[in-house]
Structure 1
Amino acid sequence: MHRYDLEYIKLLNRVMKILRIRMLIAIDTVNTSAKIERKSDERLEKKDILWKLFLIYIIIYSY
């Protein structure tokens, strides 16, 4: 192998390591935002359930 080939392979390995790390960071960011979204969805569901119970309470006691 030529000396330039070895330098090229080293450079490619370094670039691949950087890309791998960036991909892992991106995956972690997506997972974190998905967890945050899931929590906000659960809060919305709880609010929705409470709102429905409140409406049922109003309907029952208005008669």
Structure 2
Amino acid sequence: MSIKPSVGDLFSLEWVKSSYSASDSNECIEVAHTPGTVLVRDSKRPEGARLAVGPDAWNGFVAHAAA
């Protein structure tokens, strides 16, 4: 399965930091949602690499991390 957000999606992303992160902390991940894709990036390097996963994979990761 190929996960590929559209170019328009990449320019209008709303990146969200975990509510568990301190507001002045730069050591966490940020997440952005597009239709059919969840993007994850390092808050220290917002222009760097991004991990793209499907919603089912993301939900599984979050459920496992919360357990």
Task: Using structure 2 for the length normalisation, give the TM-score.
Answer: 0.23
- Greater C-alpha radius of gyration: 1
User: Which one has the bigger strand percentage?
Assistant: 2
Higher relative contact order (CA 8 A, sep 6+): 2
Task: Using structure 1 for the length normalisation, give the TM-score.
Answer: 0.24
